[in-house]
Amino acid sequence: MTELLQQVRVIDPVSEIDGLFDVLIADGYIQAVTSRISDIGSDTQIRDCQGLILGTGLIDLYSHSGEPGFEERETLLSLLQAAAAGGFTRINILPDTSPAIDNPALVAQLQQKRGGEMREMREMREIREKINLAPSATPISAFPLLYLWGAITLDVAGKQMTELADLASAGVVGFTDGKPLENLALVRGVLEYLQPLGKPVAFWPSDRQLTANGVMREGSDALRFGLPPIPASAETTAIAAMLELVATIGTPVHIMRVSTSRSVELIASAKAAGLPITASTTWMHLLLDTKAVKSYHTSLHLDPPLGNLRDVAALRAGVRVGVIDAIAIDHAPYSYEEKVQAFAEAPAGAIGLELALPLLWQYLVETGEFTALELWRALSSSPAECLGQKVSAIAPDQPAELTLFDPQQTWKVERKSLYTLSQNTPWFGQQLKGHVVQIWC
């Protein structure tokens, strides 16, 4: 199939391009990118893309899957559909499933499962097309590539190292537990063991003794709302310890879920000193601060918690200049029953795959705080670099791994407009501006 996208705004952080072009796509490859394309075949599908944005495919560094173990929250099929509907062409799943992704057999099982889900999705789409039944949400024309993080410790228990070499051979994208590892001797051993394997390793630095039973960032808002506080030092002391280990051993490390202004300063200093580190924050930490918790909406119970205004400003600046390399979604689906509790009792986390791009575009790009290239880089090419991967430029003869986005289309966040099985988001029931039209993988 050959498609001509006419006068689409191309945002390509690889080539540093932001401008209007005609783009010709055929057989999964970009054939031409130029100001005007007129010489096309009779079978070419022409699409007027004025007002639309074509960018390199979005990449999510880490998110949670309900399957296996918690299929009522999210199945692999619903997760991949939600990722596609949100513009993501690659998604990386954390190993905290049940059972955990801590052995090669489960890695192979999940990789095989994705193939089956793709066939099921195509069959469902063909049936709907035959009976002329419109999909309940954005039609999914392609599945994102699925990558799996391998667990560092057995059953994500934090005490015994997995067979890292076997998991690496099985094809995991890298290693993380997705939760704090407080045994620094174990962390040191992991860094030493992983050096020859050449796989990324990601840590979430957080001192759980300092966190204690806290549920929101320490400060005047925590006092006002009557919620147990978490000091910023719970994160910063753990990051400082991690940076010391990296300086000593030299193994590259990715620091997950950065949420404080002091953390940004520590990471900036470490990068200036030449330490081999990358870092990410999550999309909600860029948009909301502690004042939002006034609603006691349990989808605002996050771990790490939302920061104060200074934290949000530092994180945004860090992303813009590259101190914080990437924006992760950290999609964490939970059932309605799990989230309908008191704020402090509800599990921490919120969905985000279908919401992140529209909301980040609306509140960061349309306000002029970020350029389009700055946001797209943090959601696309930079996450790939954190994983040792590359993103192809939007250029002739390159694979078509692309996201088509309409920044003006409005839609309501409700059950029938979402592919994810869960609805734990503070934006549920609200009208949003910006919607993904299609992805190519």
DSSP-derived secondary structure for 173-237: SEE--SS----HHHHHHHHHHHGGGT--BEE----HHHHTT--EESSHHHHHHT--EE-THHHHH
Cβ atoms 92, 254 nearer than 8 A = no
In a 3-state reduction of DSSP, which class is residue 121? helix
In a 3-state reduction of DSSP, which class is residue 75? coil
Contacts of 297 (CB under 8 A, 6+ apart): 426
pLDDT at 125: 56
pLDDT at 128: 47
pLDDT at 156: 61
**What are the start-end ranges of the E strands in 298-369?**
326-328
Is position 330 annotated as part of the catalytic site? yes
List, for residues 295-326, the tens digit of each pLDDT value: 999 999 999 999 999 999 999 999 999 999 99
pLDDT at 281: 98
Hey, what amino acid is at 211? T
Tell me the C-alpha distance between 357 and 213, whole Å. 32
CA atoms within 13 A of residue 430's CA, in its CB half-sphere: 11
Q: Which of 382, 351, 327, 305 is nearest to 66 (CA)?
A: 351
First-last CA distance in the chain: 14
Before 276, cis peptide (omega within 30)? no
Pairing state of beta strands 53-56 and 253-255?
A: unpaired
Tell me the C-alpha distance between 369 and 378, whole Å. 14
pLDDT at 409: 98
pLDDT at 40: 82
pLDDT at 75: 96
Cβ atoms 107, 113 nearer than 8 A = no
Q: What is the CATH number of domain 56-391?
A: 3.20.20.140
Cβ atoms 5, 22 nearer than 8 A = yes
Cβ atoms 236, 257 nearer than 8 A = no
Hey, what amino acid is at 430? Q
Torsion 249-252-254-260 (CA) sign = positive
Hey, what amino acid is at 255? I
Tell me the C-alpha distance between 103 and 152, whole Å. 10
Given the residues 207, 330, 397, 406, the one annotated as active site: 330
Cβ atoms 318, 264 nearer than 8 A = yes
List, for residues 224-278, the tens digit of each pLDDT value: 999 999 999 999 999 999 999 999 999 999 999 999 999 999 999 999 999 999 9
pTM of the full predicted structure?
0.95
Pairing state of beta strands 45-48 and 29-34?
A: unpaired
pLDDT at 387: 98
Domain assignments of the chain as residue spans, ordered by start? 56-391
Question: Phi/psi class of residue 27: alpha, beta or left (left: φ > 0; alpha: ψ in -120 to 50)?
Answer: left
pLDDT at 82: 97
pLDDT at 335: 97
Q: Which of 254, 279, 274 is nearest to 199 (CA)?
A: 254
Cβ atoms 300, 288 nearer than 8 A = yes
User: What stretches in the chain show pLDDT beneath 70?
Assistant: 117-139, 155-158
